[in-house]
């Protein structure tokens, strides 16, 4: 997945800082979206996956106008738990972030029934 960094994606815009570079919360959103899409491949009808753990390191700032490529490894599976290795690189091919995201496969109806 490729994203172009816009002013709306900056730390200043999302409130996570006061600089106009890619915000970590926006980067996390892009990474989580990519893992959710890949998780669809292992879901059965009536199932969904939910994010449960995040461990990422945001290594380099990215300017507005630059592009970010998101890469996700096929998940390792342990029962209902899916663990994804994730990476993000800028247009120069530099690693700007890496880490792991965990998702858990749940029954959609049961999950929603337990939401307060």
* CB contact set of 114 (below 8 Å; sequence gap of 6+): none
**Active site (annotated) includes residue 32:** yes
**Active site (annotated) includes residue 20:** no
Q: Are 49 and 65 in contact (CB under 8 A)?
A: no
What pLDDT is attached to residue 27? Answer: 98
Question: pTM here?
Answer: 0.94
Instruction: State both tokens at 89.
Output: 């690189």
Q: Cα(79)–Cα(76) distance, rounded to whole angstroms?
A: 10
Domain limits for position 82: 2-113
Measured in residues, the chain has a length of 116
Exactly one of 32, 35, 89, 102 is catalytic; name it.
32
Weakly modelled stretches of the chain, pLDDT under 70: none
- Enclosing H/E stretch for 92: none
Binding site as annotated, residues: 51, 103
Q: How many CB atoms lie within 10 A of CB 44?
A: 7
In eight-state DSSP terms, residue 83 is E
Q: What CATH number does residue 73 fall under?
A: 3.10.129.10
What pLDDT is attached to residue 59? Answer: 98
What pLDDT is attached to residue 114? Answer: 93
Exactly one of 24, 29, 48, 100 is catalytic; name it.
24
Q: How many independent structural domains does the chain possess?
A: 1
Binding site as annotated, residues for substrate: 51, 103
Dihedral in degrees, nearest 10, Cα atoms 58, 43, 104, 83: -40
pLDDT tens digit string along 57-67?
Answer: 999 999 999 99
What pLDDT is attached to residue 22? Answer: 99
What pLDDT is attached to residue 58? Answer: 98
Exactly one of 20, 29, 58, 100 is catalytic; name it.
58
């Amino acid at each position: 997945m490729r994203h172009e960094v816009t002013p709306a994606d900056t730390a200043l815009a999302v409130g996570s800082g006061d600089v106009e570079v890619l915000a970590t919360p926006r980067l996390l959103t892009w990474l989580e979206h990519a893992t959710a899409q890949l998780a669809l491949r292992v879901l059965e009808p009536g199932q969904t996956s939910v994010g449960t753990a995040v461990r990422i390191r945001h290594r380099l700032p990215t300017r507005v106008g630059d592009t970010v490529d998101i890469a996700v490894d096929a998940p390792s599976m342990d029962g209902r738990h899916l663990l994804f290795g994730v990476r993000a690189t800028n247009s120069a091919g530099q690693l700007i972030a890496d880490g792991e995201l965990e998702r858990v496969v749940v029954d959609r109806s049961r999950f929603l029934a337990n939401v307060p």
